[in-house]
Structure 1
Amino acid sequence: MRLVALALVTPVLLALAELAVLLVVAHFLGLGWALLILLATSAIGVVLVSRVGPRSWRRFRGALNDGRPPGAEATNGLLALAAAALIAFPGFLSDLVGAVLLIPPVRDLAARGVQAAAERRLSPDVAGQVFGPRTVRVRQHRQEAADTEAPLEGDIVEPH
């Protein structure tokens, strides 16, 4: 029930936040300039969507054709497309989030978060097919007594 309420309230709160920022910008720059900036950023976003979409699709298809797991290309492409769509959507906050998401290190960080969330929800076999196999680095602890076996400890190392 809480999830439904959150899904209904969130868009309203985001719209109110966008309106509040628009009013603040309009107060400082004037309504005409604020609307002109929104129109310009929306046009830039539409151009970005038309460029990012096909480029992302080509990279995704290239990974499939090369026999590589397409998860990284799909995730990065979808995040770039989401960033462009946020810029195309009229609003200063969405423009800011979209512009920040277009910065490659930020998008890489977001992609790692998306991949980690997807891997938690997918079976290990499916996650391996989508994102590639993970390797495990195993370390053995030193112990004082040579007679006892040392416990093993490992880290999952993401392939890059």
Structure 2
Amino acid sequence: MDGATLKTRLLEELHQLIDAKIASIRSTLSDISDSMKNDTKSSAGDKFETGREMMQIELGKQQLQLNKQLQLKKDLSQINPNKSYTSIEFGSLVFTNKGIYFMVFAHGKLSFDQQDYYILSMASPIGQAMKGAKENDSLSFNKQNIVIEKIL
């Protein structure tokens, strides 16, 4: 599989993961909104107000999560899988002697087509250590020597 095809497939997989999170968050937001609409004030007024405030806080948290996922989706859509990179930057697929890293956002390990990929942010410690490195460069991270073998 060529580099552009691999990156396209990885991007599709990441889009699916984000879409699933967005759907889950939207479902939770809907459930919270329904609960708030259906919650009737009882004689225990303070209990009602506390419950309502808790739902409002949760609604805010979920909305922040939704906004974050929508931003990640937007960031992913800006990656051109056909672009070739001479150094490591956002959107690079990096093959090293220690693993394969896709520099997009913090997600961690993604197993795909019987291969492990590490989906990382450029802001992560290893992303900062690799930033600007070129093929055949060697760098030290956490007392390990990492050799950049290929950048797509």
TM-score interval for Structure 1 and Structure 2 normalised by the shorter chain? 0.3 to 0.5
Which structure has the highest strand share of the two? 2
Name the larger-Rg structure.
Answer: 1
TM-score (norm 1): 0.34
Which structure has the highest helix share of the two? 1
